[in-house]
């Protein structure tokens, strides 16, 4: 496979289980299955959105991809190279390929460092430039994200929330990565500022050919920035499709319910509101069969016993639902957005 066609990121059967200990002797008593067999790929220049409610495991996926957490099972490939089992020291040479933009622009910046030092630190860490050349590269990064170079002397507390997030983006760009994991990067910002930061990320992607793994619970944000969207529920991907297909024709009952909860700007457009019954099961004790069957209005007997695999039911449209398999009893899932 050529370098131009090799995905920026491939994840195959990724699992992350956190052990649970009980008793005075702290004996193993089970595990929290935060990520339970996730597979996807992010191509070069693409934004893959990872969406789901709180606790579904989407942020854990991002941390495992970054190797901030070691995976329990599965494979992680960066630009075609398997980095799954690399030790921290051996992983260093691959760190430049993948960077992160954090959720909180207030706590993710060192308050004791100037803005220029924060952005320039990765340049020095990877030995890309020193002295005047390093300062010039930092100044170019400031201009690229919409900040004035003279702001390099300021400290984080002197910036607004949107400006701090621009600093975070500049820091992520500093080592010239091919992939950026964006973990809820605009959720702490005002709506007007959210749009500015999202548009900046889109412009940077077009200019630099970046790939994004964009993690969020906000469907409006996902619709704006993503090319494809993966919907997660209880540690698994239940649906994966390009954004137009997903919003127009959701095939998984959970996706349908998720979209029905999203506000629509046009009051003339009517839709059916779906309210799921019950609570999300604990990832430490997931239900047998399909994890969603305890809340699914279309569940049948098979759903309680058989675990559906994520399969392609239409070109580029993958869903994990027994009701969508060939020959399954028909079920009408109404588009909601």
Strands of the sheet containing 9-22, edge to edge, are 27-42, 9-22, 73-78, 81-82
Residues 132 and 197 in one domain: yes
The tens digit of pLDDT for each residue in 245-261 reads 999 999 999 999 998 87
Answer yes or no: do 183 and 288 share one domain: no
Instruction: Decide if 193 is inside a domain.
Output: yes
Q: What does the block give as tokens for 49?
A: 């959105």
**Pair 107, 255 in one domain:** no
Structural domain harbouring 205: 9-21+30-226
Final residue of a structural domain among 226, 258, 289? 226
- Judgement on whether residues 199 and 281 belong to the same structural domain of the protein: no
My answer on whether 108 and 218 are in the same domain is: yes
pLDDT of res. 269: 65
Residue 192 belongs to domain with CATH number: 3.40.50.300
Beta carbons of 169 and 201 less than 8 angstroms apart: yes
Share the mean pLDDT of the chain: 90
Q: Global pTM? A: 0.91
Decide if 142 is inside a domain. Answer: yes
- Cα three-residue angle 69-18-82, rounded to 5 degrees: 35
Q: Which residue has the higher pLDDT, 46 or 88?
A: 46
Q: Residues 18-65: pLDDT tens digits?
A: 999 888 778 888 899 999 999 999 999 999 999 998 889 999 999 999
pLDDT of residue 4 exceeding 90: no
Rounded to an integer, what is the distance from CA 52 to the centroid of its chain? 10
Q: Is residue 240 in some structural domain?
A: no
CA torsion angle for 256, 261, 267, 268 (degrees, to 10)? 20
Q: How many domains does the chain have?
A: 2
Do residue 214 and residue 74 come from a single domain? yes
The two beta strands, 81-82 and 311-314, are unpaired
């Amino acid at each position: 496979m050529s370098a131009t066609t090799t995905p920026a990121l491939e994840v195959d059967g990724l699992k992350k289980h956190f052990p649970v200990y009980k008793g005075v002797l702290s004996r193993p008593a089970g595990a929290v299955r935060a990520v339970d067999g996730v597979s996807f790929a992010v191509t070069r220049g693409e934004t893959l959105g990872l969406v789901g409610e709180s606790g579904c495991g989407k942020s854990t996926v991002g941390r495992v991809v970054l190797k901030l957490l070691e995976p329990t099972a599965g494979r992680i490939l960066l630009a075609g190279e398997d980095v799954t089992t690399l030790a921290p020291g051996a992983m260093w040479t691959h760190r430049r390929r993948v960077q992160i933009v954090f959720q909180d622009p207030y706590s993710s910046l060192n308050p004791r460092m100037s803005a220029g030092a924060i952005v320039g630190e990765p340049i020095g860490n990877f030995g890309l430039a020193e002295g005047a050349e390093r300062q010039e590269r930092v100044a170019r990064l400031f201009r690229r994200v919409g900040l004035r170079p003279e702001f390099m002397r300021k400290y984080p507390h002197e910036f607004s929330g949107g400006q701090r997030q621009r600093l975070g983006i500049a820091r992520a760009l500093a080592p010239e990565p091919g992939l950026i994991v964006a973990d809820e990067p605009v959720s702490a910002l005002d709506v007007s500022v959210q749009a500015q930061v999202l548009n900046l990320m889109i412009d940077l992607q077009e200019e630099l050919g970046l790939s994004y793994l964009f993690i969020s619970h906000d469907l409006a944000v996902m619709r704006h920035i993503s090319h494809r969207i993966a919907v997660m529920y209880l540690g698994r991907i239940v649906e994966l499709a390009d954004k137009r297909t997903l919003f127009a024709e959701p095939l998984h009952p959970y996706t349908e319910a998720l979209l029905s909860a999203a506000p629509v700007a046009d009051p003339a457009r009517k839709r059916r509101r779906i309210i799921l019954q019950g609570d999300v099961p604990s990832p430490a004790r997931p239900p047998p069969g399909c994890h969603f069957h305890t809340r699914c209005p279309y569940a049948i007997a098979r759903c309680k016993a058989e675990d559906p695999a994520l399969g392609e039911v239409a070109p580029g449209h993958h869903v994990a639902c027994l009701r969508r398999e060939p020959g399954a009893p028909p079920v009408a899932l109404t588009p909601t957005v």
